[in-house]
Amino acid sequence: MVHAHAIKFGLLGLNVGNKLTDAYLKCGCIVDTRKLFDELPQRYLISWNSMISYYIGQGKCKEAILLCKRMVSEGVLPDNFTFSSVFKAFSELGFVNGGREGHGMSIVLGLEVSNKFVGSAIVDMYAKFGKMKEAHIVADRVMSKDVVLLTALIVGYTQHGDGEKALKVFGEMIRQGINANEYTFASILITCGNVEDLSIGKLVHGLMVKSGLESAVASKTSLLTMYARCGLIDDSLKVFNNFLCPNQVTWTSLLVALIQNGKEEVALSKFKEMISSSVLPNSFTLSSVLQACSSLAMLELGKQIHAMVMKFGLDRDKYAGSAVVNLYGKCGSTEMARSVFDALVEYDVVSMNFMIYSYAQNGIGHEAIKLFHKMKELGLEPNEVTILSVLLACNNAGLVEEGCQLFDSIKNNQQFELTRDHYACMANLLGRCGRLEEAEVLVKQVRNPDLVLWRTLLSACKIHGEVEMAERALKQVLDLSPDDEGTHVLMSNLYASAGNWSQVIEMKSTMREMKFKKNPAMSWVEIDKEVHTFMAGDWSHPSSKEILDTLGCLIEKVKILGYIPDTRFVLQNMDEEEKKRSLYYHSEKLAIAFALWKTNNKTTTIRLFKNLRVCGDCHSWIKFVSKAVGREIIARDAKRFHHFKEGLCSCGDYWRDQSVGAAVLHNDQAEIIKIWLRNLWHSDGTLAEAATICKTAEILGAKARINIIFQSDSKTVVDEFKPCLQPTKSVPLEALKSNFVARDLASWACSNSLRGRLEHHQGISMVSYAGHHDNSEFYVSGEFSVGIGLETLNAGVWNFGSMAEVFDQFRVCFDKMRMLVKELRKSKENKNK
């Protein structure tokens, strides 16, 4: 109405027009304001500034910059308020060149040095560009420095990870007598937390109290964060408890602090308090609690928080969405993870990394590699985390050649510098498949190899029983960290695997002297939103009787299917029966027994989590249980996920710890040949599946694998294997090589000399089979022979037609082989003497 009267009576002059413009802006009528503003014959500078400031407040930074350029073109020079607004617009848009042009104009107009508001805006702009050197130069030139300017400089250094310079500026500020405000304290406390300098943090806390700003929300929240990052979580809780009405930022800061200090359960409890106090979470809050659920593998609670994410319309938010992908991935639900991932509106490197890592943890290597290629097709640049995740995927899936190609391409193209973590993952991949010499060379290529690299090589040596190389790696580890507990435990287990009990006693004596303790193995399951934790042989659970009864039934069922306790995984010098009893009460067996007792629904997946690696015997036992009870069991150990279903594991037994049968010439008690024929027969002796069956033979612990394929619905073996499967005829290695496609066949080693080196002899016979199918029974006959040096040991011929006969005749064969090798060893030792 006022506008209409002004037009009607011809009063729309300079003063009235500018005041009307201001009135429209205050009412939020931007369209009418701009129309009026453009129609004015003349405009005050204050009107230009009001329009520019309003556009920036509404997030329309480009319009603000264009309006400023129009203002200058019309001959109106910007003042300190104009520059303060426009520099903010440049920093929001990341227009570095435009910001520099504006900076140049401020110098021409003499405002950079003389006006502290303009100087502070320029410093803040350069800090947000990451140009800290230029920001500091400008700050030094400003004549009248104040708290705003120096705080902008401190915030810039803090955000760009240069805590030392941030502290230096703060110290200079105090010496000049400039009083810090709450934002100064907030930033410098974050810096103290980042550099974990508790002493300076406490000093700043004291200054904050002295300044009367202890109760200010921003500085108080940063104080909470500082104490948490310095590991004083109780002090953080004390600070939090002093808040009368914590806001969203404060609650989120507390949750992040608790999670970073391993207090996930407390964090989830506090999150419930937050919701109860009617404080709504944002995407960062929900991302944090989803991370807590991921760490604890609390899938059901995670699903509820996922529902909350969807309720608040954040399911397509890249932060919350990525956290949901991470949750499902870390709980073994890769299908759900991919479903959430595919629904994201925009992909970034973080969300891609979470999905690739999800595939990596679950051993789905090929999908991880496909997604990696898709990422590059979308124009997203992989970073160090991406490459590490893909290498981990290759590692967990046994994709040796793919991993080598990726590693070499990154190394040769020099896209970025490979870290020690990349080298450690690659050394693990090579070492696990038996390429120990290459793994050792790779470790030595790293400048100043660290503890992790040498321990990785040591772990690979444990898998293959390579004592000599392990001792070299041990020396390097102890040179770097004589008190490293994990290395002593690892080496003790290696000596135990090799039957070198004197060295085991010596290692354990050293561990006792240094007061080392092995981390106890723990397994846990989530039932009805409650987590139940178990330790080996621990009967403190309220339902111990029911667990024991269920476990006894399970053991009987799996024994019928062919399960035999693998006592080689008991790394203690005790008799066989004691070893079997100790295996029965491993933590994962107790947890699974409890979960099966509590859940009668056969469609429910059992989800098991363990803090250490699942041992080989438990791995085998869980496969049998999954078949016996018809349930899927997903186990997450310290390395990866194992999906057990119908007697098979998703890892294809690749990740199973097979260290205990290695190097027969170092251990007379080792099994020379291990044939994994379990899970192939029903209890009546008939073949379990009318499908392809693969059998793996390991010769002399060299981890050589022969996969021979038979088909149960055919009376003859697969045609392509006929040349290799002639009864009573020895099969040369080359014949097998030419007839079977296997990734690790090329790394075969066929003999083991007394000095422990593996050598390859083409003509040495390995295993020969002949088979036929008749009346639903599966018969196999064959002859084992193992070459040592130039001599051949014949272990005898075996024939069987039912499951019960399989293991009996295998044992006879193994016993004969042990005796023959023992005699040969003694003979060679006598000759050497």
pLDDT tens track for 70-87: 888 888 888 888 888 889
User: What's the pLDDT band for 693 if we cut at 50, 70, 90?
Assistant: very low
> How, if at all, do strands 606-610 and 633-636 pair?
parallel
SS3 of residue 538 by DSSP: coil
pLDDT at 810: 46
Task: Report the range out of 277-281, 452-456, 779-783 with the highest average pLDDT.
Answer: 277-281
Task: Kindly tell me if the per-residue pLDDT of 371 is higher than 90.
Answer: yes
pLDDT at 798: 30
The answer to whether the Cα torsion of 543, 549, 551, 553 is positive or negative is negative
Task: Kindly tell me if the per-residue pLDDT of 209 is higher than 60.
Answer: yes
CA dihedral 212, 217, 218, 219 (to 10 degrees): 40
- Residue 481 burial (CB < 10 Å; 0-12/13-18/19+)? middle
Could you tell me the CA-to-CA distances from 430 to 90, 360, 616 in Å, in that order? Answer: 50, 17, 20
SS3 of residue 65 by DSSP: helix
SS3 of residue 696 by DSSP: coil
Task: Report the range out of 13-17, 37-41, 53-57 with the highest average pLDDT.
Answer: 53-57
SS3 of residue 23 by DSSP: helix
Are 327 and 607 a contacting pair, CB within 8 Å? Answer: no
Q: In b/e form, how buried is each residue of 20-42, taking b as 16+ CB within 10 angstroms?
A: bbbebbeeeebeebbebbeebee
pLDDT at 345: 81
User: What's the pLDDT band for 569 if we cut at 50, 70, 90?
Assistant: low
Residue 61 amino acid letter: C
User: What's the pLDDT band for 35 if we cut at 50, 70, 90?
Assistant: low
pLDDT at 662: 26
pLDDT at 288: 92
Residue scoring higher pLDDT (52 or 340): 340
User: What's the pLDDT band for 289 if we cut at 50, 70, 90?
Assistant: very high
Task: Kindly tell me if the per-residue pLDDT of 747 is higher than 80.
Answer: no
User: What's the pLDDT band for 586 if we cut at 50, 70, 90?
Assistant: confident
DSSP state of 680: S
SS3 of residue 829 by DSSP: helix
Segment holding 536, helix H or strand E: none
CA 675 – CA 503 distance, rounded (Å): 30
pLDDT at 620: 84
- What is the average per-residue pLDDT within 785-797? 30
Structure tokens at 415: 């896209």
User: pLDDT tens, 373-412?
Assistant: 999 999 898 999 999 999 999 988 888 888 999 998 888 8
- What is the average per-residue pLDDT within 172-200? 88
- Residue 622 burial (CB < 10 Å; 0-12/13-18/19+)? buried
Architecture of the CATH domain 145-244 = Alpha Horseshoe (1.25)
CA 254 – CA 249 distance, rounded (Å): 9
- What is the average per-residue pLDDT within 456-464? 81
CA 98 – CA 65 distance, rounded (Å): 9
SS3 of residue 439 by DSSP: helix
Least confident of 461-475, 758-772, 791-805: 758-772
User: What's the pLDDT band for 243 if we cut at 50, 70, 90?
Assistant: confident
Nearest residue to 386 (alpha-carbon basis) of 398, 401, 402, 375: 375
CA 137 – CA 611 distance, rounded (Å): 52
User: What's the pLDDT band for 325 if we cut at 50, 70, 90?
Assistant: very high
CA 57 – CA 401 distance, rounded (Å): 55
DSSP string, 779-801: EEEEEEEEEETTEEEEEEEEEES
Are 587 and 522 a contacting pair, CB within 8 Å? Answer: yes
Could you tell me the CA-to-CA distances from 474 to 154, 421, 567 in Å, in that order? Answer: 46, 19, 26
Helix-, strand-, coil-residue percentages of the chain, each rounded to 5: 60, 10, 30
- Residue 817 burial (CB < 10 Å; 0-12/13-18/19+)? buried
Residue scoring higher pLDDT (513 or 619): 619
pLDDT at 338: 93
DSSP string, 137-177: HHHHH-SS--HHHHHHHHHHHHHTT-HHHHHHHHHHHHHTT
User: pLDDT tens, 109-133?
Assistant: 888 778 888 888 899 999 998 899 9
pLDDT at 315: 80
Task: Kindly tell me if the per-residue pLDDT of 37 is higher than 80.
Answer: no
CA 90 – CA 220 distance, rounded (Å): 31
Q: In the chain, what percentage of residues exceed pLDDT 70?
A: 70
Task: Kindly tell me if the per-residue pLDDT of 372 is higher than 90.
Answer: yes
Segment holding 107, helix H or strand E: helix 96-108
Residue scoring higher pLDDT (776 or 650): 650
Q: Read off the pTM.
A: 0.66
Task: Kindly tell me if the per-residue pLDDT of 368 is higher than 90.
Answer: yes
Q: In the chain, what percentage of residues exceed pLDDT 90?
A: 14
CA 724 – CA 708 distance, rounded (Å): 10
User: What's the pLDDT band for 353 if we cut at 50, 70, 90?
Assistant: very high
User: pLDDT tens, 83-115?
Assistant: 888 899 898 888 889 889 888 888 888 887 788
pLDDT at 516: 61
Assign residue 515 a region: left if phi > 0, alpha if psi is -120 to 50, beta otherwise?
Answer: left
Residue scoring higher pLDDT (25 or 455): 455
pLDDT at 730: 36
CA 197 – CA 298 distance, rounded (Å): 34
pLDDT at 655: 54
- Residue pointed to by tokens 């102890």: 478
End-to-end Cα spacing for the chain: 117
Residue scoring higher pLDDT (146 or 732): 146
Cα angle 10, 11, 14; round to 5: 125
Are 524 and 516 a contacting pair, CB within 8 Å? Answer: no
Are 665 and 595 a contacting pair, CB within 8 Å? Answer: no
Are 286 and 308 a contacting pair, CB within 8 Å? Answer: yes
Task: Kindly tell me if the per-residue pLDDT of 512 is higher than 80.
Answer: no
DSSP state of 728: T
Structure tokens at 339: 């479903």
Residue scoring higher pLDDT (295 or 3): 295
- For the chain, where do the domains classified as CATH 1.25.40 start and end? 145-244
CA 499 – CA 228 distance, rounded (Å): 47
- Residue 102 burial (CB < 10 Å; 0-12/13-18/19+)? buried
CA 601 – CA 57 distance, rounded (Å): 57
pLDDT at 575: 60
Residue-averaged pLDDT of the chain: 73
608, β-bridge pairs: 525, 635
CA 467 – CA 590 distance, rounded (Å): 33
Residues 6+ apart with CB under 8 A from 171: none
Residues 6+ apart with CB under 8 A from 478: 484, 487
Are 512 and 505 a contacting pair, CB within 8 Å? Answer: no
Nearest residue to 124 (alpha-carbon basis) of 82, 159, 77, 97: 159
Task: Kindly tell me if the per-residue pLDDT of 444 is higher than 50.
Answer: yes
Could you tell me the CA-to-CA distances from 454 to 136, 458, 479, 485 in Å, in that order? Answer: 43, 6, 11, 14
Residue 627 amino acid letter: K
Residue scoring higher pLDDT (179 or 483): 179
pLDDT at 498: 65
Residue scoring higher pLDDT (784 or 567): 567
Q: Where are the alpha helices (DSSP H) in 514-615?
A: 544-561, 576-584, 587-598
Least confident of 106-110, 242-246, 304-308, 812-816: 812-816
Nearest residue to 695 (alpha-carbon basis) of 661, 736, 639, 749: 736
- What is the average per-residue pLDDT within 449-459? 85
pLDDT at 398: 81
Residue scoring higher pLDDT (728 or 211): 211
Segment holding 484, helix H or strand E: none
- What is the average per-residue pLDDT within 574-585? 70
CA 266 – CA 271 distance, rounded (Å): 9
Nearest residue to 185 (alpha-carbon basis) of 139, 135, 224: 224
User: pLDDT tens, 426-438?
Assistant: 998 888 887 888 8
User: What's the pLDDT band for 603 if we cut at 50, 70, 90?
Assistant: confident
Residue scoring higher pLDDT (778 or 830): 830
Rg (CA), the chain: 35
Task: Kindly tell me if the per-residue pLDDT of 669 is higher than 60.
Answer: no
CA 199 – CA 484 distance, rounded (Å): 29
Task: Kindly tell me if the per-residue pLDDT of 480 is higher than 70.
Answer: yes
CA 174 – CA 150 distance, rounded (Å): 11
Residue scoring higher pLDDT (217 or 739): 217
Task: Kindly tell me if the per-residue pLDDT of 760 is higher than 60.
Answer: no
User: pLDDT tens, 3-16?
Assistant: 444 444 444 444 55
CA 555 – CA 622 distance, rounded (Å): 10
pLDDT at 574: 61
Cα angle 135, 138, 140; round to 5: 110
Nearest residue to 357 (alpha-carbon basis) of 381, 380, 323: 323
User: What's the pLDDT band for 709 if we cut at 50, 70, 90?
Assistant: very low
Residue 352 amino acid letter: M
Residues 6+ apart with CB under 8 A from 373: none
Least confident of 92-101, 161-170, 320-329, 690-699: 690-699
